[in-house]
Amino acid sequence: MKRNLDEIPWQERRSPKGRYHLFQKEISLALGGKKDVGRWGGGHPFDVTLVRIPPGAVNWPLHAHAAQWELYGVQEGNGRVRMGEERWEVVSGDWFLAKPQEAHQIENPGPGDLLLLVVSNHPEADVTFYPTSGKFFLKPERKIVRESPLSYYDGEE
């Protein structure tokens, strides 16, 4: 299967107050992949996405995947990356890796768009932790939950 990048539509993702804002071209899905499903379910072993972050926006809330790896390549523009406690500037031509369990986030200080090529693997399951809000995102279920302290036997008897 073959697709030209110009044929793949931009999809906008924006939080209610607009702090988190991006556009993405889901290249793997356009090539027959399945959302959050790897080879075990007939999908691809990885996802490839072109991401455009407008000036002044942040891609996603700070988060860390339990199992998923993400490789980023800066195609255009410049940005700020937060990786755990580290922060650094990135420019066109830079590549960086977000390892499992490493909280990460990308901001575009402007003035132009920040364009990134993102390649991520497809673990069979992943839990994404959001340290600021204390919530978790479960894949493949695609559910958001919060941790609540429970006794070991809660709901068992």
Examine residue 140 and say whether the peptide bond preceding it is cis (omega within 30 degrees of 0): yes
Q: For the segment 69-113, what is each residue's pLDDT rounded down to a tens digit? A: 999 999 999 999 999 999 999 999 999 999 999 999 999 999 999
pLDDT above 90: residue 40: no
Q: What is the reported pLDDT for 151? A: 58
pTM over 0.85: yes
Domains of the chain (ranges; CATH) run 5-124 (2.60.120.10)
Q: How far apart are CA 94 and CA 39, in angstroms?
A: 29
CB 81 within 8 A of CB 44: no
Return mean pLDDT, the chain: 92
Q: What is the reported pLDDT for 126? A: 92
Residue 28, number of CB atoms within 10 A of its CB: 19
pLDDT above 90: residue 145: no
Q: What is the reported pLDDT for 11? A: 98
Q: What is the reported pLDDT for 13? A: 95
Closest listed residue to residue 127, CA positions, set 112, 109, 114, 145: 145
SS3 58: strand
pLDDT above 80: residue 116: yes
Mean pLDDT, residues 54-60: 97
Helix ranges (DSSP H) in the chain: 27-30
